[in-house]
Amino acid sequence: MFEINRYYTELPKSYLFSRIAKTVADFKSKHPDARIISMGIGDVTRPIAPAAIAGMTEAVKAMASADSFVGYGPEQGHAFLRSAIAETDFSSRGIDIADDEIFISDGAKSDIGNFTDILDSRIKVAVTDPVYPVYVDSNVMAGRGGHLLPDGRWSGISYMPCTESNGFVPELPRTAPDVIYLCYPNNPTGTALTRHQLGMFVDYARRHGALILFDAAYEAYIESADVPHSIYEIEGAKECAVEFRSFSKTAGFTGLRLGYTVVPKELYGLGADGSRVPLRQLWLRRQTTKFNGASYVIQCGAASLYTPEGREQIQQTIQYYKTNASVLREALQQAGLTVYGGVDSPYIWAKSPAGYGSEQFFNLLLERCHLVTTPGNGFGPSGEGFVRLTAFSSHQATREAVSRLSNLL
C-alpha cells in the first residue's frame, strides 16, 4: 500500500467549528422547540450588494452568447479587477501597489493555506495565541508542527500569547521565526494593532529577515484613525510582508468566494544557492501551475463594488454589522461582563464570569439563552476564559440575544 501524508493524521480529529456544530445539533435534537441564535461561526447574513448582483448578472448574460463568452481567464485574475483594487484599496490610501502584485483567488483561506508551499519545509513559524486555526493546521499538514503538546499547542510552532495583561498585543517573538502570521483586526479577539504596534513587527521582520503573513480579512471594519488598513501603510513593509484580503466579510462573498493576495516585488526569499529569489515570481509559478483563476462572474461582481454605488452599498452593510457589535458590547458590559473587540471588528471577545471556563460559559449560553458562541480555548490555550460572539446576525436576532443575555446575567 502507498503511504499517505502522515502529518494529516497527526491533526486533532475535529475542526473547531465541526465540534461546535455537533454540540449544537445534539442540543437541538433534545430541545426541538428552542429558537437558537447563532453567534458562533463567522458567517454573514446580509444579502449581496445590488451593484455586485448587477455586475454578476451582466457577466452571466455575457456567457450566453458566443460573442461575449469568457473562458479561462488569467490565473492572476482579470486586469479590470486588479486595477480597481490597486486604485481603491491602495493608491487612494497613498500606498503604491502595482496591478501585477495583486493575485485574485477564490478566497483568503486558500491563499493563506497554500502560501507556505513556496517556502522551505523546515522554516519556523510563529502565530498569535489565540489564533485563526488555519495558520497552524496548514503548517502541521506541511510537517512543520512537531508534536502536539498536552495543552493543544504544537512543539514546532512558536506562540505569541495575546492576553488581557498585554492588551492583546503580542510581544515580539523571542524564537527567531522565519514566518510570522498576524491577523489584524484580529479573529478571534476583535482587537486591532495601532500603526506603531504593527510598525514594531515590520521593524522586527526587516531586522531579522523574517516574512510577515498579514491577514487583513477584516480591514473593512476599521474605524479607529490610528489603526492601519494595510500593512503597506508601514514603511518598509513591502520588503517583508504579504497581505491577504477577502471579499467575504467586506461584501458578503462567503458563498460566492473571492479574495486576493498582495506579493510585492520588493519581497525576496533565499534560494538553495544563497541567491535572492523574488517571492512574487514563485507565487505566480505556484498559482499558474495549481490554480486556474477565480470565476469570471464573481470577479465581475467584485469589480462592481468598486463603483461609487457599490462602495456605498457595502458600507451600509458593514455599518449594519457594526451596529450589532456595539449593541452587543454595551449589553454585555451593562450585564457586568468584561468585553474586548467589536470596535474595529465584527467580533466580540467576552470574558467568562468568575468561576466559568470557556466551555462552561459556552454551555451556559447555549443551554440558558439558546445562544451559540465559540469557546475561546478552541482558538488556543490563551483563549481560555473567553467566548467569541459575532455581530453577523440580523438586528432582530441581536436584540433578542441581548435581551436573553440580560435576563441571564
For ligand PLP, the binding residues (CB under 6 A) are 42, 107-109, 132, 183, 187, 215, 217, 246, 248, 254, 259
Strands 157-161 and 211-215: unpaired
Cα(43)–Cα(253) distance, rounded to whole angstroms?
10
Question: Which of 394, 326, 396 lies closest to 47, judged by CA?
Answer: 394
Cα(230)–Cα(142) distance, rounded to whole angstroms?
28
Cα(255)–Cα(211) distance, rounded to whole angstroms?
30
Rg (CA), the chain: 21
Cα(360)–Cα(247) distance, rounded to whole angstroms?
34
Cα(282)–Cα(280) distance, rounded to whole angstroms?
5
Cα(267)–Cα(171) distance, rounded to whole angstroms?
24
For residue 243, give the amino acid letter.
E
> Which residues, listed in sequence order, are joined to residue 348 by a DSSP beta bridge?
341, 389
Cα(379)–Cα(41) distance, rounded to whole angstroms?
12
**Least distance CB 216 / ligand PLP (angstroms):** 9
**Least distance CB 254 / ligand PLP (angstroms):** 6
C-alpha grid cell, residue 63: 456567457
H or E element that contains 128: strand 125-129
Cβ-proximal residue to ligand PLP, closest one = 107
For residue 80, give the amino acid letter.
F
**Least distance CB 189 / ligand PLP (angstroms):** 11
**Least distance CB 9 / ligand PLP (angstroms):** 25
Q: How far is CA 361 from the centre of its chain?
A: 24
* Cβ pair 253, 302 in contact under 8 A: yes
* Cβ pair 153, 381 in contact under 8 A: yes
Nearer to ligand PLP, 108 or 364 (CB): 108
